[in-house]
A and B are shown apart, each in its own frame.
Chain A
Amino acid sequence: MSFLEMTAVRKGYGPAGSRTEVLGGIDLSIEKGEFVAIVGFSGAGKTTLISILAGLLAPDSGSVRLNGKEITEPGRERAVIFQNYSLLPWMTVFENVALGVDQAHADWPAARRREHVEKYVAMVKLTQARSKKPGELSGGMRQRVAVARALATDPEILLMDEPLGALDALTRATLQDEIERIWEEDRKTVVLITNDVDEAVLLADRIIPMTPAPAAVLGPSVTVDIDRPRDRKSLNHDPRFKSIRNGVIEFLLQKRALRTSPTRTPAPATV
């Protein structure tokens, strides 16, 4: 039995009759310490998938098990990084991170919790900005706060829902490198949801393509057998990088072509 196991998970929205099936039977298994990227188009149902893993949504059918236990609600062992950061704007950087720590480590003395918060604020290089409110920070800095808030609760598994989707390309690259650096330190289990195939290849051990909604399912997973730490400059010339990247993109485009023109045979994807 894997660390995280999803079997035949279905989820739809809307009243019976006009119901849209978003997830049409998701099977997924992830081992402890694995960094898995789920790649799909916008609107493929990726956020629904991560909300189910987070315990914010209940599946209509199927089972989701973590450590052999059914997921029914948010839990201490899972942390979520949302696409839109979801920081509380009336709290400082420190307070936002402390909010999670105070709850997760309620049994610690106050001084130890404080130290713990400082440690994670420093990890994402925001010690200078610790007393600032989210409104005074750039998008990249805000997402760093969200990363610190999630990691500081010491989760066993980190769920990231397009964490860098709203950032410009340069900030995105910097944060990708930082996520890799931070992950190298303690190799937590990570599920990264993204629409950026390059990002997935750069960060993940395994990439799983997701077919577009309605009734999204996961495609065959691709192992990224490129040594870490991965350097984005040399990666561009790595033949394995190209073949993995093209393989994933081809799969996604084929599936989409099938969706959009079911009567015609899909044109061969050229990327």
Chain B
Amino acid sequence: MMGSLLRRVRWDALLLPLVGIAAVVALWAIISTTFSTSLPSPAKTWETSKPYILSPFEKRGELDQGILRFTFYSLVLVAKGYALAILIGTPLGFWLGLSKLFTKAFDPIIQILRPVSPLAWLPLGLVLFGKSHPAAVFTIAICAMWPTVLNTALGVRAIPQDYLNVARVLRLSRTKTLFKVLLPATLPYMFTGFRLSLGIAWLVIVAVEMLTGTPGVGGFLWQEYNSLVYEHIILCIGTIGIVGFVLDRMMSLVEARFKAA
């Protein structure tokens, strides 16, 4: 009974995803031999990428580094932009949630700015800051901010009237109401926003690195495209996907903790 249950779980959780991956790799192999011969085959990709994967932290030159070293550069840049997005987005979300007047004034402009692509923000960042590094941080922050803003606002609006009544009846000060009632009540929504924001920040990084030529996974991808090493494009796509997946899982775990509380 126990054994069969274990086998079932293994089958579902491990084997099926492997089947899916195998199917995509097979399709890739077929396309590389038939439809587009300039697409490197899985075997060739592995052969060319091996030094980057097997010694992932090696630095052979500015634009020739192990894949995890590049990933690290990208993550540092994302962390900066993401931190800025949360620092600005959370209070902005609170204001939107608390004040109808503020919502009426700023919601339309937020809805207009929200769908703007990072490719459009980056040049503006370059104009504003002159250098590529702050421009990159700016672009990540302004693109990644919106889910945090909107979810925080939603969370504040969803606070049950009961909690607000308690705060009023106990005559809690403004600060106490904020930190003991509003903030804890909004936390689950905020973390949903944080998770979505992180996903966007990671999406934006590639575009930003490509445009600015900053060393990182995205920068490496673009440079290898220009150097005609197409195998590394696939290596980068795989890395970006896996890192994004891991980040999302990690945030989900944190989010679930707050949801359960």
| Residues of A bordering B, CB below 8 Å | 54-56, 73-76, 78-80, 82, 84, 86, 88-91, 99-100, 103-104, 133, 149, 153
Contact = CB atoms under 8 A, between A and B. Distances in A.
29 contacts: A55-B168, A56-B165, A56-B168, A56-B169, A74-B168, A74-B169, A74-B171, A75-B171, A78-B169, A79-B169, A80-B165, A80-B169, A82-B166, A84-B162, A86-B162, A86-B166, A88-B166, A88-B180, A90-B184, A90-B187, A91-B180, A99-B170, A99-B172, A99-B180, A100-B170, A104-B171, A133-B261, A149-B170, A153-B170
Contacts of B261: 89-90, 133
A73 B180 CA distance: 21
B181 interface: yes
Contacts of A75: 171
A75 B169 CA distance: 7
Nearest to B165: A56
A37 to B, nearest CB: 21
B163 to A, nearest CB: 6
A55 B165 CA distance: 10
Contacts of B176: 103
A194 to B, nearest CB: 19
Contacts, number: 50
A76 B169 CA distance: 8
| Secondary structure type dominating chain B contacts | helix
B230 to A, nearest CB: 52
A123 B190 CA distance: 38
Contact of B162 (A74, A79, A82, A133): A82
A211 B236 CA distance: 74
A16 B173 CA distance: 34
Contacts of A82: 162, 165-166
By Cβ-Cβ distance, the 8 closest A-B pairs, closest first, are A86-B162, A90-B184, A100-B170, A80-B169, A74-B169, A86-B166, A74-B168, A103-B170
Contact of B163 (A56, A76, A86, A153): A86
Contacts of B163: 86, 88
A54 B169 contact: yes
B31 to A, nearest CB: 52
A89 B187 CA distance: 12
Contacts of B173: 103
Nearest to B181: A88
Contacts of A79: 169
Which of A54, A76, A80, A90 has most B Cβ within 10 Å? Answer: A90
A16 B180 CA distance: 37
A76 to B, nearest CB: 7
B176 to A, nearest CB: 7
A159 to B, nearest CB: 9
Nearest to B176: A103
A222 to B, nearest CB: 29
Which of B163, B169, B187 has most A Cβ within 10 Å? Answer: B169
A148 B168 CA distance: 17
A79 B261 CA distance: 27
Contacts of B169: 54, 56, 74, 78-80
A7 B187 CA distance: 43
A163 to B, nearest CB: 14
Contacts of A133: 261
Interface in B139-181: 162-163, 165-166, 168-173, 176, 180-181
Nearest to A101: B170
Contacts of A56: 165, 168-169
Contacts of A73: 168
A103 B162 contact: no
Interface string B164-207: 01101111110010001100110100000000000000000000
A46 to B, nearest CB: 15
A56 B163 CA distance: 13
A260 to B, nearest CB: 30
A103 B172 contact: yes
Contacts of A86: 162-163, 165-166
Given A88-B163, A88-B180, A88-B181, A103 B168 contact: no
